[in-house]
Amino acid sequence: RLTALDQPDHASDASAMWNSIRPLLVLGRIVMVGFIIIVGEVFDDVRMAGLTIGVWALILGIPLFLLISTVITYVDRLVRGEEETLG
């Protein structure tokens, strides 16, 4: 088990880039949920097209959250498949 740690990491450039970008996307999702909650509370009485701004934040925020989650999952699978091919 310790000898495996001594082996060099043969990560590709794409894998290394993804490992740098992925935490930013994950953190962005967390911040986005926080902003949705804050916007919903602060602009609770403001209406636009018959709906409150908080509802609009949910209408736009939930699909955006799901899209970012899907991109993270998809690229994780691509990178993992690439690493298995190389290794």
Judge whether 46 lies within some domain: yes
* DSSP 8-state symbol, 47: E
**Res 69: pLDDT:** 96
Are the CB atoms for 82 and 8 separated by under 8 Å? no
- Please name which of 5, 58, 67, 14 lies closest in space to residue 35, comparing C-alpha atoms: 58
User: 4 in a domain, yes or no?
Assistant: no
Average pLDDT of the segment spanning 51-68:
93
Q: What is the pLDDT of residues 60-71, one digit of tens each?
A: 999 999 999 999
The domain total for the chain is 1
In a domain, residue 72? The reply is: yes
Contact, 21 vs 32, CB < 8 A?
no
In a domain, 43, yes or no: yes
Give the structural domain span for 44: 13-86
**Band (11; pLDDT cuts 50, 70, 90):** low
Angle at 72 between CA 69 and CA 76, to 5 degrees: 145
Token pair 């740098």: residue: 20
The structure's pTM equals 0.73
Asked if residue 41 is part of any domain, the answer here is yes
Residue 10 has pLDDT above 80, yes or no: no
Tell me the mean pLDDT in the region 45-61.
Answer: 91
Write the single-letter amino acid at 21.
I
Q: What is the pLDDT of residues 30-49, one digit of tens each?
A: 999 999 999 988 988 889 99
3 belongs to a structural domain: no
